[in-house]
């Protein structure tokens, strides 16, 4: 296993370009199964989750080529409907195969994903939506079989206790585009990644009205055609670099950071006193703001609210603001696994139910810390950038699921971040 060593206290300067969004690329890759024609995807991030999705597409019988970096060509002439547990357990997002299989084959047989460290992650809303379309759903030995031979368009309310569902909306849209009749989805997720998927489906011949709105109206068509599509840029990656720059810049220019996708984040950035400007609609320039940061309160919500996927990173920022800021997590109420690790570095954070109170400004000191999920990993690295001394982050395979070459790109900005074998860690830090 590999670890990251971060030597804190070095200023970041320069330019970084964000990649295509992981959370758009995964359902978009799944959507290529909706047509027998070739789809060419561009701006696909090179991430372990993406490589894994390509493996799943091959498993289903699709021909997958990667002719150039960031380009994936998929031809799914003839596919089969079964996704085994060995595949699903490695990546929860494999559940977004459900919609395409139902749409194209009228049958899907997929292992039910388990929970993960950020929460229980149910799929009841995905199944409720398909049942409303008239699909027959059976559960057996951890597998779900969906039979859509009698499916017809219907009106579906897709909201749950925590609001809309991103992959649930993606799945229902992908099923509905090839289901006869009109499907109306109320409380559809409005995340830019869902919009990107719908835009691609529309260019494949799907009939979807009100893309980006909370009510989607879909009229089923008989078949979809191939398409060339460029994946939308990753707003979460952009926000992560923005926090890094606020903590450790210098001045960092982030290209591909779309202001229209980062509204709630930029609003809180401004309130927190971060020094930034927007030279163009997709460029964000952030200057180091230590010593000027003010505490803010944040509540995570579905888009266009503050994204849960930037909550942990923002808490690293709040450790350096003078005063107490409060973070309330409304999407995954237990998503605070980064807190004990930040505390080991000197942060003062109290968690009570779905709320964390971060008291700053506290000096951070390097320590050996453990990454628990993708965004928590990034957060510990951000904290390491401003900590004195060396921070060692273990289990960075979580990071590689969602950030392409994070170490190289931070290094290109002047950070001292290295990827090393675990054996390079001093034994006393590894707990030997």
Signed CA dihedral, 328, 406, 120, 110: sign only: positive
Residue 91 vs 321, nearer CB to ligand EPU:
91
Using DSSP's 3-state secondary structure scheme, residue 254 falls into strand
CB of 208 to ligand EPU, least distance (A): 19
CB of 52 to ligand EPU, least distance (A): 12
d(CA 25, CA 233): 10
d(CA 198, CA 127): 20
Instruction: Indicate which single residue of 19, 94, 167, 319 sits in contact with ligand EPU (rule: CB under 6 A).
Output: 167
CB of 193 to ligand EPU, least distance (A): 6
d(CA 248, CA 381): 12
Residue 353 burial (CB < 10 Å; 0-12/13-18/19+)?
exposed
156 binds ligand EPU (CB under 6 A): no
382 binds ligand EPU (CB under 6 A): no
Residue 57 vs 125, nearer CB to ligand EPU:
125
CB of 303 to ligand EPU, least distance (A): 7
Residue 36 vs 370, nearer CB to ligand EPU:
370
CB of 195 to ligand EPU, least distance (A): 13
CB 290 within 8 A of CB 386: yes
- Residues 125-144 binding ligand EPU (CB under 6 A) are 125-126
Residue 55 vs 251, nearer CB to ligand EPU:
55
Instruction: Indicate which single residue of 35, 83, 94, 165 sits in contact with ligand EPU (rule: CB under 6 A).
Output: 165
93 binds ligand EPU (CB under 6 A): yes
CB 167 within 8 A of CB 96: yes
Phi and psi angles of residue 116, each rounded to the nearest 5 degrees, phi first: -145, 180
- Residues 28-57 binding ligand EPU (CB under 6 A) are none
Q: Which stretch binds ligand EPU (CB under 6 A): 12-20, 161-169, 173-181, 239-247?
A: 161-169
Residue 334 vs 412, nearer CB to ligand EPU:
334
Q: Where are the alpha helices (DSSP H) in 17-89?
A: 22-31, 48-59, 85-88
Active site residues: 116
d(CA 131, CA 154): 10
Longest dimension (CA), the chain: 64
171 binds ligand EPU (CB under 6 A): no
Question: For residue 22, what are the contacts with CB-CB under 8 A and spacing of at least 6?
Answer: 45, 47, 49, 50, 234, 401, 402
d(CA 150, CA 235): 39
Question: For residue 423, what are the contacts with CB-CB under 8 A and spacing of at least 6?
Answer: none
Residue 45 vs 384, nearer CB to ligand EPU:
45
Query: How many residues lie near ligand EPU (CB under 6 A)?
Result: 24
d(CA 425, CA 432): 11
d(CA 81, CA 344): 47
Q: Which stretch binds ligand EPU (CB under 6 A): 50-58, 163-171, 178-186, 381-389?
A: 163-171
Q: Which stretch binds ligand EPU (CB under 6 A): 120-128, 145-153, 197-205, 383-391?
A: 120-128
To the nearest 10 degrees (0 to 180), the angle between helices 235-248 and 311-318 is: 10
Instruction: Indicate which single residue of 166, 206, 318, 339 sits in contact with ligand EPU (rule: CB under 6 A).
Output: 166
Phi and psi angles of residue 228, each rounded to the nearest 5 degrees, phi first: -110, 125
Per-position x/- string for 265-304, each x denoting binding to ligand EPU as judged by CB under 6 A, each - no binding: ----------------------------------------
d(CA 345, CA 89): 32
Q: Which stretch binds ligand EPU (CB under 6 A): 162-170, 223-231, 349-357, 414-422?
A: 162-170
d(CA 432, CA 427): 5
Instruction: Indicate which single residue of 124, 186, 260, 267 sits in contact with ligand EPU (rule: CB under 6 A).
Output: 124
CB of 291 to ligand EPU, least distance (A): 30
Residue 102 vs 425, nearer CB to ligand EPU:
102
402 binds ligand EPU (CB under 6 A): yes
Which of 286, 356, 347, 350 has the alpha carbon at shortest distance from 320? 347
β-pair partners for 357: 326, 350
114 binds ligand EPU (CB under 6 A): no
CB of 20 to ligand EPU, least distance (A): 13
Query: What is the token pair recorded at 259?
Result: 């202001």
119 binds ligand EPU (CB under 6 A): yes
Query: What is the token pair recorded at 353?
Result: 């139910």
- State the residues that interact with ligand EPU by CB under 6 A: 23, 26, 93, 119, 121-126, 160-162, 165-168, 308-309, 331-332, 374-375, 402
């Amino acid at each position: 296993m590999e670890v990251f060593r971060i030597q804190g206290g070095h200023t970041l300067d320069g330019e970084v370009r964000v990649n295509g969004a992981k959370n758009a690329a995964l359902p978009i890759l799944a959507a290529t199964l909706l047509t027998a024609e070739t789809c060419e995807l561009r701006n696909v991030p090179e991430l372990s989750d993406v490589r894994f999705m390509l493996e799943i597409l091959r498993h289903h019988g699709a021909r997958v080529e990667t002719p150039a970096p960031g380009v994936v060509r998929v031809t799914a002439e003839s596919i089969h409907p079964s996704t085994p547990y060995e595949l699903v357990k490695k990546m929860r997002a494999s559940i977004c195969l459900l919609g395409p299989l139902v749409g194209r084959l009228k049958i899907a047989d997929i292992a039910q994903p388990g929970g993960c460290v950020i929460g229980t992650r149910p799929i009841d809303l995905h199944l409720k939506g398909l049942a409303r379309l008239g699909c027959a759903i059976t559960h057996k030995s951890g597998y779900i079989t969906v039979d859509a031979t009698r499916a017809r368009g219907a009106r579906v309310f897709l909201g749950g206790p925590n609001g809309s569902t991103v992959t649930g909306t993606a799945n229902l849209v992908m099923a509905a585009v090839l289901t006869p009749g009109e499907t109306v989805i109320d409380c559809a997720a409005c995340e830019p990644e869902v919009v990107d998927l719908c835009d691609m489906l529309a260019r494949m011949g799907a009939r979807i009205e009100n893309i980006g709105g909370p009510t989607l109206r879909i009229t089923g068509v008989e078949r979809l055609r191939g398409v060339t599509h460029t994946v939308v840029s990753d707003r979460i990656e952009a926000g992560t670099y923005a926090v890094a720059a606020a903590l450790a810049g210098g001045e960092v220019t982030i290209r591909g950071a779309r202001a229209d996708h980062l509204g709630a984040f930029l609003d809180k950035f401004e309130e927190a006193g971060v020094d930034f400007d927007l030279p163009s609609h997709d460029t964000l320039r952030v200057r180091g703001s230590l010593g000027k940061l003010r505490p803010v309160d944040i509540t995570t919500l579905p888009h266009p609210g503050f994204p849960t996927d930037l909550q942990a990173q923002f808490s690293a920022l709040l450790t350096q603001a003078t005063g107490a800021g409060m973070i309330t997590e409304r999407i995954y109420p237990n998503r605070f696994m980064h807190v004990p690790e930040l505390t080991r570095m000197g942060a003062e954070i109290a968690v009570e139910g779905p709320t964390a109170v971060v008291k700053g400004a506290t000096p951070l000191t390097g320590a050996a810390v453990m990454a628990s999920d993708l965004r928590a990993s990034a957060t510990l690295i951000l904290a390491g950038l401003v900590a004195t001394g060396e921070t060692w982050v273990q289990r960075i395979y979580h990071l590689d699921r969602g950030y392409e070459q994070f170490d190289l790109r931070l290094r290109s900005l002047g950070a001292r971040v290295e990827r090393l074998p675990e054996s390079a860690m001093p034994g006393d830090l590894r707990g030997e």
